Structure 1
């Protein structure tokens, strides 16, 4: 059974969790909508032999999403451990 947190601890926990969530959401918006808007301009740059705009659409965004998922899991686990509400 998870330990009970007092109101101040719950507020700190939610503040940290919320900040992590909004940061990851902002990065998700960037890689989903903002980066593709600049695909034509990015095509003048080459990455691994491919135009960067093509690479970002085909691989870069997907890699970024996986990294965001892993980062979220690790960071949330650290927050949970800090407040003693981690899962076994």
Structure 2
């Protein structure tokens, strides 16, 4: 039983680490530190750096929320701790 809990927690931390990595890239790296490189391209007439800071990071966060919920549902079923 303890081994299964440990494996579940390890898988959960792996998913969290991946999500935090994507969050860091979308929320900090791209819109703050790479803004000059991104501004060479545009989306809808706006520089990509501006768009990423205003809209892209929000869309990324929403996708991360749904991804995390979907992946955790799969993980819960795999370890038989899901709600019915």
Q: 1:26-83 CA deviation, whole Å, 9 max, x = no partner?
A: 1111111111211122111122322111110111000000000000000001000111
Distance of 2:7 and 2:67 partners within structure 1: 20
2:27 to 4, 20, 32: 32
Runs (4+) of structure 1 exceeding 3 A deviation are none
Aligned residue pair count = 83
Distance of 1:75 and 1:55 partners within structure 2: 28
2:15 corresponds to 1:7: no
TM-score calculated relative to the size of structure 1? 0.87
Query: Counterparts in 2 of 1:1-88, with a 5 A limit?
Result: 6-36=1-31, 37-88=33-84
**Partner secondary structure for residue 27 of structure 1:** helix
- Structure 2: stretches of 5+ with no match in the other structure: none
Q: Flag the structure with larger Rg.
A: 1
- Structure 1: stretches of 5+ with no match in the other structure: 1-5
